[in-house]
Chains A and B, each alone.
Chain A
């Protein structure tokens, strides 16, 4: 039973355009959400996070949107660059629970074409 779902295994976008990666969750106890980026042969790298008390968090080219009623979040990358090509993982946690206990989705492989 997957609590965090990334239904698109892959996404291909043209350089300069917007990339939108989606994530759904089922556990209403989750109150903190994170996005990680992973290159081959490297560990996941933290990208951006959002608390459940917010609906948007922006950091440079990266913006995460949270829709609590729909249990849905998305990561927007604008403009997309070839260096953004990687696997993106959505993760969720219950802040009041065991910190570091992240529940991950299966990931979406983003390819940004020049």
Chain B
């Protein structure tokens, strides 16, 4: 059973650029959620994807967008990067409809915007 993997682990971007972060879900899971964790804060929900469609969104602007693929892997895209987008981005997978609803997290991607 493979876990949740994210790539890259670190990257540095310039303000105004665009970035794509990737996530491979845990085997057997059909739902992917993305979270942003700023320094000293808990993770904040960005959005969730189920069956390749967005299935819930937190308080993030439209320049945060995502995709889920048929193999349940996912991408998080952020356009027009701002300095405040610097954070740890976490991907979590879970199985919708299963009694145990805990989400399993990847190790995260540390994004620095300069």
The verdict on A34 contacting B56 (CB below 8 Å), with A41-B107, A101-B45, A104-B44 known, is no
A81 within 8 A of B: no
Q: Tell which of B6, B41, B45, B100 touches A102, judged by Cβ atoms closer than 8 Å.
A: B45
Q: Which of A46, A98, A100, A102 has the most chain B CB atoms closer than 10 A to its own CB?
A: A100
- Chain B positions 29 through 51: 1 when the CB is less than 8 Å from some CB of chain A, otherwise 0: 00111010000111111001000
A103 within 8 A of B: yes
A contact residues, range:
20 to 34
A43 within 8 A of B: yes
A100 and B94 contact, CB distance less than 8 A? yes
A49 to B100, CA, bound (A): 9
Nearest-CB residue, chain A, relative to B93: A100
With A44-B90, A100-B32, A100-B96 known, 19 other A-B pairs at CB within 8 A are A43-B4, A43-B92, A43-B107, A46-B103, A49-B101, A91-B42, A93-B101, A97-B56, A98-B56, A100-B31, A100-B92, A100-B94, A101-B45, A102-B103, A103-B45, A104-B42, A104-B43, A105-B42, A107-B42
List, in ascending order, chain A residues with CB within 8 A of B1's CB. Answer: none
A98 to B31, CA, bound (A): 10
Binding site for B on A (CB under 8 A): 4, 6, 32, 34, 36, 41-46, 49, 89, 91, 93, 95, 97-107
B66 within 8 A of A: no
Nearest-CB residue, chain A, relative to B40: A106
List, in ascending order, chain A residues with CB within 8 A of B101's CB. Answer: 32, 49, 93, 95, 99-100
A43 and B102 contact, CB distance less than 8 A? no
Min CB–CB distance B104 → chain A (angstroms): 7
Nearest-CB residue, chain A, relative to B103: A100
A95 to B43, CA, bound (A): 18
Q: Tell which of B33, B100, B104, B105 touches A101, judged by Cβ atoms closer than 8 Å.
A: B33
Min CB–CB distance A106 → chain B (angstroms): 5
List, in ascending order, chain A residues with CB within 8 A of B4's CB. Answer: 43
Nearest-CB residue, chain A, relative to B34: A100
